[in-house]
């Protein structure tokens, strides 16, 4: 499991590496307010470094967490970074996750995670911040099967999305049915659940990572719980943030239909 996820993380990282590897100017602004391409890469490098610390020295990570300030993420994005440092950090994290003993979970800012879940989270973030870079450069990325990792985290984080928005966590299950890039159907939740989310996997992932406004996407909800979840869905930890304005970025065009 961990090897397969790490292979996908490596591939997703390479897509972004290909976008910025030969780029002379990292000061190009991205859709994230105040963040340039350099901020996006610095943030990924910083998070890789913190994740490596969590996997290799839980006590040091706990101390870092104890002394963390609200601007921790923004300060991490301000750290200067080179392409070589980002690449080295990715490789270091991979080695650290592979070395975690079986059955041991890695501490994190939210609940502790298995090494495979940590790798999945890093893939989600790499994809999401890669979307910011792609948008800044006017590039359309080809959607892949790796979107399933992003969608899976978003589905698993449904309760967290309600909590972080100060809402009671619903107990009713939600059926999520998405269509992948090749027309394959990805599903979560009971087949007979009255609450349902449907749409292209790409659109759902863009929604859950707050990279597109809901009105610019073909994602649909049916049922009280699903209807309440869709506007607040998020695949990442921390505050939801403002997201993107309607029409701010190009619509993805949809990949299949549900």
Give 75's contacts (C-beta < 8 A, 6+ positions apart). Answer: 69
**Per-residue pLDDT tens for 201-254?**
999 999 999 999 999 999 999 999 999 999 999 999 888 888 888 888 776 754
**Per-residue pLDDT tens for 136-170?**
999 999 999 999 999 999 999 999 999 999 999 99
Closest CA to 250 of 198, 188, 203: 203
Residue 33 has pLDDT above 60, yes or no: yes
Q: Where are the domains of the chain?
A: 2-137, 147-232
**Per-residue pLDDT tens for 102-138?**
999 999 988 899 999 999 999 999 999 999 999 999 9
**pTM (2 decimals)?**
0.93
* Residue 186 to residue 172: CA distance in whole angstroms: 20
Q: Which pLDDT belongs to residue 254? A: 40
How many CB atoms lie under 10 A from the CB of residue 186? 18
- Are the beta carbons of 200 and 207 closer than 8 angstroms? no
What is the average pLDDT score of the chain? 93
Q: For the domain made up of 147-232, give the CATH fold.
A: Nonspecific Lipid-transfer Protein; Chain A (3.30.1050)
Compute the average pLDDT of residues 29-35.
95
Q: For the domain made up of 2-137, give the CATH fold.
A: 1.20.120
Q: Which pLDDT belongs to residue 253? A: 53
Q: Which pLDDT belongs to residue 111? A: 85
Between CA 54 and CA 62, with CA 57 as vertex, the angle to 5 degrees is 65
The per-residue DSSP string of 186-249 comes to EEES-TT-SEEEEEEHHHHHHHHTTSS-GGGS--EEESHHHHHHGGG--SSSS-----PPTTSS
Q: Which pLDDT belongs to residue 41? A: 98
pLDDT band at 178 (very low <50, low <70, confident <90, very high): very high
* Residue 109 to residue 65: CA distance in whole angstroms: 7
Q: Which pLDDT belongs to residue 256? A: 33
């Amino acid at each position: 499991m961990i090897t397969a996820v790490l292979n996908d993380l490596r591939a997703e990282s390479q897509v972004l590496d290909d976008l910025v590897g030969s780029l002379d100017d990292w000061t190009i602004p991205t859709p994230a307010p105040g963040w340039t391409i350099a901020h996006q890469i610095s943030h990924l490098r910083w998070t890789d470094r913190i994740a490596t610390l969590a996997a290799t020295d839980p006590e040091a990570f706990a101390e870092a967490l104890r002394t963390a300030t609200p601007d921790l993420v923004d300060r991490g994005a301000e750290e200067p970074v080179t392409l070589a440092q980002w690449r080295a950090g990715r490789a270091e994290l991979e080695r650290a996750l592979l070395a975690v003993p079986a059955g041991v979970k890695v501490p994190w800012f939210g609940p502790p995670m298995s090494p495979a879940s940590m790798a999945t989270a890093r893939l989600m973030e790499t994809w999401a911040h890669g979307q910011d870079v792609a948008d800044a450069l006017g590039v359309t990325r080809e959607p892949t099967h790796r979107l399933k990792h992003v969608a899976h985290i978003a589905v698993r984080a449904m309760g967290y999305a309600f909590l972080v928005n100060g809402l009671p966590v619903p107990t009713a299950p939600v059926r999520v049915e998405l269509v992948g890039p090749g027309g394959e159907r990805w599903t979560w939740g009971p087949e007979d659940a009255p609450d349902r989310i449907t749409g292209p996997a790409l659109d759902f992932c863009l929604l859950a990572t707050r990279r597109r406004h809901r009105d610019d996407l073909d994602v649909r909800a049916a049922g009280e719980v699903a209807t309440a979840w869709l506007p607040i869905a998020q695949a990442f930890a921390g505050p939801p943030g403002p997201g993107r304005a309607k029409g701010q970025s190009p619509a993805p065009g949809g990949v299949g239909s549900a």
